[in-house]
Structure 1
Amino acid sequence: MKRLIKLFAILFFIPFFVEAQDLADALRYSNLQIQGTARSGGMGNAFGALGGDFTSVSINPAGIGLYRSGELSLTPTFGQTQVESNYLGSMRSDSKYNFAFNNISYVSTIQTQNRSETGIISVNVGIGFNRLKDFNSTMVVEGDNVNGSFMDYIADNANANDWSDYYEQLAWDTDILLYDENNNEYWHDLQDAGYGQNQRKSISRQGSIDEYSLALGLNFNHKLYFGASIGIMDIYYKESTELLERDLNNSVPYFNEMQFDSYLRTSGTGYNVKLGVIFKPTNEIRLGASIHTPTFYNLHDVFETSMYSSVTYDDGVTENYDALSPFSEYDYDLETPLKATLSAAFVIAKRGLISIDYEYVDYGSASLRRGGDGYNFVDENGEITEAYKSVGNVRVGGELKLNEAISLRAGYELYPSAYNSQAFGVSQPNADANLMVYSSGLGYRSGGFYIDLAYRYSVMDEFDLLYPAPQSDLYPAPQMAAFNTVKNNVLFTLGFKF
């Protein structure tokens, strides 16, 4: 178990060890969950064979070929993310609310005036954006640790001559990393006293991944639809962490408390191309297929850390120290995996429909490229291949028309964990960290006007660490924390057809 935790800390510790670009970045920006319109969101985003909704441009661009008229749509959303943590038997919970726009789009339909209803019936052009990922969340983890400290990681690195201006130097400058000249080693007061301090960590994340698309769709004979799109991706991600360790029981000589803060901001753009086809063998059946090229990102990271400590000396004087790391900036490229989707939809008695998408993604094929200093990421890309696997995402949705104006909807989405069950000779704790989304919706249509409303509930359980594990067996392995993340989203789409 100790070896498992240490390997997990080296390879998959995401919230804390963010100084370098690694496989965590590759997964963070490759693993997407479409937000889109309220109609699509209420039906589990299973729109690969349905089309007629701008969300389908991010799944199967052939869907734009099914538009029979022009359309303008707007989708604001209100969301709440709640994260519950369990660490050393202590439960904590925190929530974050946010308001955003999931979709703004415009579609124009050009009729060919082909009265024979054969050949190309119409050419459709669409432009707009869909939100593909929402990063907004806050979480708090807290517990009393009698067997370990973040300072173990700091001292272990210092003794291994792995000195960083972002970690070890700060601890040295704040007088909580000490040096024993007799034994020629670094140490800290918490280890010497047998630990027992309170640990509290808070993490705040903000940002999103948005896709701006230009799409073209062709309608052949009302039977066969082709589509292509160019997607421009926009990434903004910001993460602030605060780790506080306090000697609440006055059991550790000299040491009162320390606080380590880290800040990461990533921004960048990328591009991809999507191709798709939808075939209607009958009026009741629709079959779809699409392929997405990898997204080629150029990313820019900003990173810095700081540390505060309070120490009481033998003379009874308490000193407070502050230290700030250098300001780090780094440019690099990321290539996300190729995606392929197969879809089917079935119309039932002109009153209802059922739709399903199967999306294949090989997360192990993601790769970091062209660091700003010429670094080639060979080792990191090897870790990506070893740690991540291919998955099949499943989206299922249904719609029932109560009458010509009102429709009811429901959906389900399953996004399996990207982690291999075994990697580097050990089991991975998050191999079963699947994301599940349950959705429902309501639609109203009248002439050239429509309103859609949807509610989406997503849940995922996963494990993580408060701080990286020291590599030396002289220090105890850190304890894992369990997290339950629940997202509640309400989507509202207002649309006009013309």
Structure 2
Amino acid sequence: MKRLIVIGIIGATVAMVNAQNESDALRYSRTFHGSTARSMGMAGAFGALGGDFSTLSSNPAGIGLYKGSEFVFTPKIHYNSADAFFNGSRYNDYKYNFGFSNLGFIYTYDYKRDEGWSTVSYGTGYNRLADFGENTTIRTEKANGSLLNEFVLNSNIEGSEERFDPFYEYLAYNTYLVNPDTFQVIAAPGDTSYGVEFWSHMTDSGKYGQLLEKTIRRKGGIGEWVFSMGANYSNKLYLGATIGWEMVNFSQSTLHYENDVDDNTMAIGSFSFREKLDAWGNGLNLKVGGIYKPTDALRIGLAFHTPTIYWLTEEFHTAIEANYDAGFDPSYSEDRSDVAQSDYTVLTPYKAMGSLAIVIGKRALFDVDYEFVDYTAMRLQGDMDSYTDINTIIQKSFKQTHNVRGGFEVRLDPIYLRGGYAYYDSPYKSSLYGNNSDVQYASGGIGYREANVSFDIAYSRALNSQKHYLFLGTNSKIDYTRNQILATLSFRF
């Protein structure tokens, strides 16, 4: 749901958050590695190596290691799987996706000297930073609760502006899923009339056992257009900078469906509740980095990413359909909310990265990257007063994280073999909602180089688990597996 119930985060209250919330801030702040098959094959561990287009979005000093110009292009295939565990049931869902991970051009000017500033390189192109596409289905044949429990609870919070939220309880009221104990017309969303208790046929009976299914369909991602410049000083020091122009699009459709198959509840046969969220916008950031080569075998890299500021537009609406048992009037009812549109900004955390690489001649290389990200620094900004409360929740809910990537490449002319592992720390405090959400990547790849042409292919598999909120007091555990295959074709000249 677009609304999140947080218990005990601020005082001992139950806080309802409509429109934007901390989940939005995290969605646009958490990005992962690799846009080329070579870097993905090494789990994105390229911070001290350079010479690969992916480094323009990680450590832009990597552009300084180019000896010539290059054109690079990377399509990819995604296969994401979600195993949802709920009330003793397990349900698997999946999504295939084809897209582009990378498209770029590097131009290098060589001053033909070994001392001082020997080369300068300019790069521009596109790197994919995040993919949101996934399908999830949560299902049980015998539920022991209902979404209507939450609607009834909120309807009975006297004096609250959320008593009849126009996207939730008001729709349930208009479709007779939530009813007053005496006849009373609710004039408009937000009516806080006292003295009336609200109830539902399903929650009033206390008899559940209905079929319950929730489907979540997500698509979209974050892409970055990079404008980079780097230079090589005496083949010892490499410096670079990237201006990143981000493009964001995100779409989420959810359907919560309950069906009283065994007729345990008077009146209600089935109902469905739909939510639709669309968001889009742009962002801007700056990345700077350096690579120092004290010896031919050792390289040390440092990089810093400023916070990205996103300017986003969001649309959100909901709908309810209800079917009633034979003999009840009406037998069918539906209602839809208006479409709410809002403009707001997201400020992501800065990133700091340190890297160490060992190069064994032209036979092998190894790289380890460490990345620090402080998710408590995320911020939402806009015209709503509630952003202050949301930013307070962010500070109390998230933590500083430590991410590690490691990878290797072995050269067997003209074949290159690669492997890597990456660990992305959970951004949540360990106690929050019982959520962990750390992500582990394992990857491998192979490459072929001949003259000025190279072809690389890589496979990556990521695993993580999360808890998904269904309704008050009820969560589902979801195990995600994200598979992707990248193929990169590059031409050097």
Fold-level match, TM-score > 0.5? yes
Identify unmatched segments of 5+ residues in structure 2: 11-15, 184-194
What's the CA shift for 1:125? 0.2
What's the CA shift for 1:375? 3.6
What's the CA shift for 1:376? 6.6
1:127 to 115, 124, 137: 124
- Contact kept, 8 Å, 1:137 with 1:204, in 2: the verdict is yes
Residue type at the aligned position of 2:438: N
Partner of 2:395: 385
Residue type at the aligned position of 2:211: N
What's the CA shift for 1:196? 2.1
Partner of 1:340: 352
State the distance in 1 between where 2:76 and 2:232 align: 32
State the distance in 2 between where 1:9 and 1:463 align: 18
1:235 to 241, 248, 257: 248
- Contact kept, 8 Å, 1:342 with 1:358, in 2: the verdict is yes
2:422 is equivalent to residue 413 of structure 1? yes
Residue type at the aligned position of 2:389: D
- Contact kept, 8 Å, 2:267 with 2:328, in 1: the verdict is no
Partner of 2:479: 484
State the distance in 2 between where 1:421 and 1:133 align: 24
State the distance in 1 between where 2:18 and 2:6 align: 18
What's the CA shift for 1:7? 3.6
What's the CA shift for 1:317? 5.6
What's the CA shift for 1:447? 0.6
1:494 to 472, 485, 489: 489
Partner of 1:309: 322
1:363 to 366, 375, 399: 375
State the distance in 1 between where 2:476 and 2:169 align: 24
The 5-angstrom pairing of residues 105-184 of structure 1 reads: 105-114=104-113, 117-160=114-157, 161=160, 162=162, 163-181=164-182, 184=196
State the distance in 2 between where 1:367 and 1:356 align: 30
2:453 to 449, 456, 464: 449
What's the CA shift for 1:397? 0.5
Residue type at the aligned position of 2:467: F
What's the CA shift for 1:10? 8.4
Partner of 2:188: none
Residue type at the aligned position of 1:57: L
The 5-angstrom pairing of residues 396-435 of structure 1 reads: 396-403=406-413, 405-422=414-431, 427-430=432-435, 432-435=436-439
Cα distance, 1:92–1:8 mapped onto 2, change above 3 Å: farther
The SS at the match of 2:108 is: strand
State the distance in 2 between where 1:443 and 1:167 align: 53
Partner of 1:473: none
The SS at the match of 2:344 is: strand
Partner of 1:216: 229
- Contact kept, 8 Å, 1:35 with 1:133, in 2: the verdict is no
- Contact kept, 8 Å, 1:239 with 1:263, in 2: the verdict is yes
State the distance in 2 between where 1:129 and 1:171 align: 45
The SS at the match of 1:364 is: helix
What's the CA shift for 1:172? 1.2
- Contact kept, 8 Å, 1:34 with 1:130, in 2: the verdict is no
**Cα deviation code 1:397-435 (max 9, x no counterpart):** 1000112x110000111001001124xxxx5411x3210
Residue type at the aligned position of 2:422: E
The SS at the match of 2:294 is: strand
What's the CA shift for 1:112? 1.8
Partner of 1:463: 467
Residue type at the aligned position of 2:109: I
State the distance in 1 between where 2:219 and 2:155 align: 32
RMSD of aligned Cα (Å): 1.8
Cα distance, 1:77–1:8 mapped onto 2, change above 3 Å: farther
**Cα deviation code 1:39-93 (max 9, x no counterpart):** 0000010111011001011110000000001000000001100001110011100
What's the CA shift for 1:113? 3.2
State the distance in 2 between where 1:139 and 1:7 align: 23
Moved more, 194-203 or 47-56: 194-203
The 5-angstrom pairing of residues 18-97 of structure 1 reads: 19-97=18-96
Aligned residues: 469
State the distance in 2 between where 1:146 and 1:442 align: 48
State the distance in 1 between where 2:211 and 2:341 align: 33
State the distance in 1 between where 2:391 and 2:380 align: 6
What's the CA shift for 1:158? 1.3
Cα distance, 1:269–1:368 mapped onto 2, change above 3 Å: same
What's the CA shift for 1:374? 5.1
